[in-house]
Structure 1
Amino acid sequence: MPSKPSPFDLMNSSALARITSPKTNKKNLGDAYLKFHLGQQTSAVLSMSQAQEVFVLPIGRLTPMPNMPPYVMGLQNRRSKVLWVIDLAKMLGLPGVEVNVQHYNSVIINNGSVSLLLIVQSVEGVVRLTPESIQPPLGQVSSGLVPYLRGCVFFEQEILLALDAEAIMRSPLLHNT
């Protein structure tokens, strides 16, 4: 009685090559960026090389710290590391996240030695952007945002702020508190 073939027996090397070879369509071109919303009208991206982790933070897991600027929400222990929790929109001079919620959408950024937990309104997913699609932000955004930007991107009928995680972590706003 012949044995039932496994799915791997049915694949030949040419079929495997067709499955694993990258297609050259526009969606696969460019670097990976995490897309998220800072508010109702403001979308942004961060390079996936700078985004370490995305997760939902229950409000009860956040430890508020007294006498801090309004954009510093407190501390959070994550994977045996204590991280500062920052309302990114508020730090950038935009309206902050809602405070009457059960949880926050959070993104941990890392530059190799320092990690920071950023609170954002919502996380949409990963998009691919080519370096030439990131344009200088001149005249498109407020001057207060410019130090934290790599540029702006017109992507699927909206303008995205291409943020620089390294510039956010070096911000004088975070080092003078």
Structure 2
Amino acid sequence: MVSNPGFTVGNDPDLSSDIERLETPEGELHLRFFLASGSEFALSASGIKEVMNQPPDRLTPIPNTSPLLLGTINLRGQVIWVADLGQFLGDPVALNTQRQEIPIIALEDQEIILGLAIDRIGEMQWLDVAQIQRPTNVPNHMAPFVWGEWSFEGELDRPPLRLLNQGAILRSARWAA
């Protein structure tokens, strides 16, 4: 079937350019997302267990826990804590939980699972690891959780994309406060 002439690109430049774009991308796959203030961040796809939208009434609040924790959800029989990532990172705008669905990114690392509630899910993007730089101008309360920044080529007025360290987030002592 592969030898079928209908499957070859031939001399069609449009098809050739499409196939070149489909070749193995360089770098690592990241999920881009936004906090309530509009700040954009990214997490490595390798540590993401699942991305979902949950109605607020599916979040069960747990009394006497950290104010960063919104509650728990039942994900196919597994109870998962859900936290407000924006509040955790010190975002100045509170997450609106009074809406139909709340986007949640479930992170998993060595059997620890935590759901991070965010304002809006962005897109998946391959980021060239060689272009990731050390973070600059990161507030002190956020610095332990940002491992790098990626600048957008040709968009000098756009702030860099901050890449979060999911292991540092999952193991933070802030959850016990």
Normalising by structure 2, report the TM-score: 0.82
Q: CA-to-partner distance for each residue in 1:67-114, whole Å, 9 max, x for gaps?
A: 222210001110221000000010111133113222101111111311
C-alpha distance in 2, partners of 1:40/1:10? 53
Per the alignment, do residues 74 and 136 of structure 1 end up closer, same or farther by CA in structure 2, a change over 3 Å counting? Answer: same
Amino acid at match of 1:135: Q
Q: CA-to-partner distance for each residue in 1:115-137, whole Å, 9 max, x for gaps?
A: 11110000011011111222111
Over the aligned positions, Cα root-mean-square deviation in angstroms equals 2.8
Which stretches of structure 1, 4 residues or longer, exceed 2 Å deviation after superposition? 8-12, 21-25, 155-158
Count residues in correspondence: 166
What SS does the aligned partner of 2:130 have? helix
Tell me, yes or no, if the aligned pair for 2:69 and 2:81 is still in contact at 8 Å: yes
Q: Among residues 18, 24, 30, which one is paired with 1:33 in the alignment?
A: 30
1:3 matched residue in structure 2: none
Matches within 5 A, 1:57-136: 57-94=54-91, 95-136=93-134
* Structure (1 or 2) with the larger CA radius of gyration: 1
The answer to whether residue 162 in structure 2 is matched with residue 161 in structure 1 is yes
**Which sections of structure 1, spanning at least 5 residues, go unmatched?**
1-5
C-alpha distance in 1, partners of 2:170/2:19? 35
C-alpha distance in 2, partners of 1:132/1:118? 28
